[in-house]
Structure 1
Amino acid sequence: MSYLESLKVFVRVVELGSITAGGRDMRLSPAAASTRIRDLENRFGARLLNRTTRTLTPTEIGQVLYDNARKVLAALDEAEAAVASHSGTPLGAMRVSAPLGAGRRLIAPLVPRFVAENPEVQVRLRLSDRVVNIVEDAIDLAFYLGQPEDSTLIRRKIADCPRVLVASPEYLAQHGTPDAPEDLKRHNCLLLRFPRSPEYYWVLQTPEGPRKLAVAGGFDSDDGEVLTDWALAGTGIANRPRYEVAAALRDGRLVEILPDTPPVAVEFGVLTPHRDLQDPKLRLFMDFAVRELKFAMG
């Protein structure tokens, strides 16, 4: 088992290009991950990785091991899924990703309940507002907000996620309340920004249909919840999912802006690279999540 686990660590280290990242993905410290790699190098009597201060790549022998180890691990996953399918008992680990806000508020609370019903399953939840490549990152199920671009993935819509423009009463008292979409151009808009970010503009629903509106501001972040915190602190106007700011709207810490021309709702759903969901744990978790979240997006 130790050899198999070392192979799993080695594969993730190569895929993520970092011993630290690969170890973290396998729930190991950098020191423990390095020990796993060293055990493999001792076993094969050869260096498996080329390390510099900035890069980590497999050696020629390391590449051979990586290519074959991936096949072995994939075959084991298929065997495990086949056995589970016949036995009717879901088992094994699955990697699940989700955007930060939705992951914390909507997905994370589901995990303990699902595992309590399926104790042989381990859920490894990865949260990020960045666009993930679920094939390269070896993700089994990826929850998303928006419109996925990869048409090769299996896509299942859960619900439309309403969005809302919000600011604090203090900000509005100081800067005024926008009366029309054009007024947003004169305000400090809080932006979600990172490479390949879709939010360099906001899309508002008007009587004439969806309208793209270029907005700008002095604050941006790659973490959506930071934008909510900034809005609460009175720094500007944020475009957030309604479920994320519902409590702050109810108690008056935030105020909804332009309710007659709100941001266009975005799709919330789940993606899988699997052409057939024969693995019981994936099918069960997807069905469980869809059922539990169907009415949680309002």
Structure 2
Amino acid sequence: MDWDKLRIFHAVADAGSLTHAGDRLNLSQSAVSRQIRALEDSLGATLFHRHARGLILTEQGELLFDATNSMSKRLETAAARIKDSEEEVFGELRVTTTFGFGLLWLAPRLPKLYEKYPELKVDLILDERVLDLPMREADVAIRMKEPSQADLIRKRLMSVQMLMYASREYLDQNGTPDSAEDISDHRLICQSTDAAQVMAGASLVQTVMAYNPRSTLTINNYFGVLQGVLHNLGIGVLPDYVTHDFPQLVRVLPEIESADVPVFLAYPEELRQSQRIAAFRDFVQEEIITYRKHLRSLEKA
């Protein structure tokens, strides 16, 4: 099968248009059309339904696109491994993690990574979905549970807990609750139990909701919950790692806490030798060591 025709077919299927595919490939629309017709003739199958709004893959076209998509991702992996220098760290690194951890813990620390590796290009993908690392939806993941996908190298980084926090100004105005029953006098800020989140967080919210808070504000990510707490709207359910960068938060109701939530870093086995992966992994581990030292100093204070 002609590799060049497959490359052109993949571009057309991805773009949904002969014109757009031609622009990507620096080919005329007629040249792209000729290559697609030649590929269809060689296969004895129609690959696209053609209509005024563009092109739609036929069933046979879908089968071929699945194959070329897998080929494309494997080629990307090979290219990434080839480009990785033994001594230099450069190029694109696609990192996926949750909204909360990405916005509240990882992103504020990235300046240190760029300071050390100024030519690195980080593509930070914040998503509660578990992306498929072997299929190169991302290069490396930080997740709040151990990944179950095969062919991954995984390392447990730390554990976090969901705890209750409020601002000092809010507590001065509304009083500090002494027991869980006092939640009925306060507004609770949290993620909805229907929102995508770790089970420990949802379970803690269900527990607190049972005490009938006077009012609630539900937001679908922890960054939003944090903003509500910082703006004195109520008592929030937040992961404990936010205390490192927001010392103005006050922990309340210490008897209410979630189970430990493990944090894992994972990447595909085939990227074991990647210098970019190694640099990012070491950076995260160093930052966690610093984070733990800070927590210990707070405990002693």
Tell me, yes or no, whether TM beats 0.5. yes
CA contact (8 A) 1:165 1:263 kept: no
Aligned to 1:139, the other structure's residue is in SS state: coil
| Paired residue type of 1:96 | V
**Cα offset, 1:97, TM superposition:** 1.5
Shift in CA distance, 40/58, structure 1 to aligned 2, threshold 3 Å: farther
CA contact (8 A) 1:166 1:255 kept: yes
Aligned to 1:269, the other structure's residue is in SS state: strand
User: Are 2:266 and 1:266 aligned?
Assistant: no
The partner residue of 1:244 within 242, 245, 251 is 242
Once residues 9 and 296 of structure 1 are traced to their aligned partners in structure 2, the CA distance between those partners, rounded to angstroms, is: 45
- Which residue is equivalent to 2:209? 215
CA contact (8 A) 2:73 2:136 kept: no
- Which residue is equivalent to 1:78? 78
Cα deviation 1:19-62 (Å, max 9, x = unaligned):
9xxxxxxxxxxxx8995499697653158698999xx9744436
**Cα offset, 1:117, TM superposition:** 4.3
User: Are 2:231 and 1:233 aligned?
Assistant: yes
Matches within 5 A, 1:101-180: 101-115=100-114, 117-118=116-117, 121-128=120-127, 130-135=128-133, 138-144=137-143, 146-148=144-146, 150=148, 152=150, 153-161=152-160, 163-169=162-168, 171-172=170-171, 176-180=175-179
Once residues 228 and 165 of structure 1 are traced to their aligned partners in structure 2, the CA distance between those partners, rounded to angstroms, is: 11
Q: How many residues align?
A: 265
| Paired residue type of 2:61 | I
TM score, norm. by length of structure 1: 0.66
CA contact (8 A) 1:163 1:262 kept: yes
The partner residue of 1:201 within 203, 218, 236 is 203
Cα deviation 1:122-151 (Å, max 9, x = unaligned):
3211224x233233671111122x324626
Shift in CA distance, 255/117, structure 1 to aligned 2, threshold 3 Å: closer
User: Are 2:63 and 1:67 aligned?
Assistant: no
CA contact (8 A) 2:104 2:223 kept: no
Shift in CA distance, 186/289, structure 1 to aligned 2, threshold 3 Å: same
Name stretches of at least 5 consecutive residues in structure 2 with no aligned partner.
37-46, 296-301
Shift in CA distance, 112/42, structure 1 to aligned 2, threshold 3 Å: farther
Cα deviation 1:48-88 (Å, max 9, x = unaligned):
698999xx974443652452243144134225414636x54
Give RMSD over aligned pairs. Answer: 4.5
Identity of aligned residues (%): 22
| Paired residue type of 2:273 | Q
TM score, norm. by length of structure 2: 0.65
Max radius of gyration: which structure?
2
CA contact (8 A) 1:6 1:36 kept: no
